[in-house]
Structure 1
């Protein structure tokens, strides 16, 4: 039996909040298209795992106030949430990190096939984040 898009998206975000990249990867199709906010599209689980390793080095984040939406056919979904984070290590081209905290509204959009995420697109206001960590 195929799990609902809502269940898969919830498992993905639960794994994110637990810092469990392997559990996140288990929710993804092998040919995942990962659309990064203001970045390049990355194709495949290996590139997604590399992205997660980079993010774990630079940021400590927890997502709260999660609302998940599912399209009727179960092949599309979305989520709205708040990113509560700490900037741990300076990321290339961004302000210097020194443990600044931030709180940022964000959203993700998903395509799914056979219970696996085939596309994830995440959006947030980068200018808002830069302003928060530049204080």
Structure 2
């Protein structure tokens, strides 16, 4: 069991909040600055990518295909500040067809989601995102 570190949970919560604030603002520079160079990214129902450059490529694809805003953010932190979880709602628009997914036609969606984080030296070293892909598919393929 990890011991509590003074201010660690508050510092961790600030990093996670800054991560989502930068995401919502579309501030790619600030967003990427919150990641370690060797960041591990577990993609929902997908693979694992490692490294800052891989995450930047993922982010570029996401920005081209989707416009999303995070709302209802709740952040939970470990007592030692090394790990965190976030629960939130994604409000999005499917802008451009993402390979392997249904055709984009500007469909809107609202999706409950969550993420798990590992932090190191005040930056995100791992992020694992989770949402219900079947729910998203149902929302974007409605007639």
| TM-score class, shorter | over 0.9
State TM-score, norm by structure 2.
0.91
- Displacement of 1:61: 0.2
Any gaps of 5 or more consecutive residues in structure 2? Answer: 1-6
Aligned match for 1:33, one of 40, 57, 82: 40
Matched, 1:64 2:59: no
Asked whether 1:102 is paired with 2:109, we answer yes
Q: Provide runs of 4+ in structure 1 moved above 3 Å.
A: none
Structure 1: 5+ residue runs without aligned partners?
none
TM-score of the superposition, structure 1-length normalised?
0.97
Partner of 2:62: 55
Q: Which residue of 2 aligns with 1:88?
A: 95
RMSD of aligned Cα (Å):
1.3
> 2: CA distance between counterparts of 1:109 and 1:7?
15
Residue 114 of structure 1: aligned partner: 121
Partner of 1:131: 138
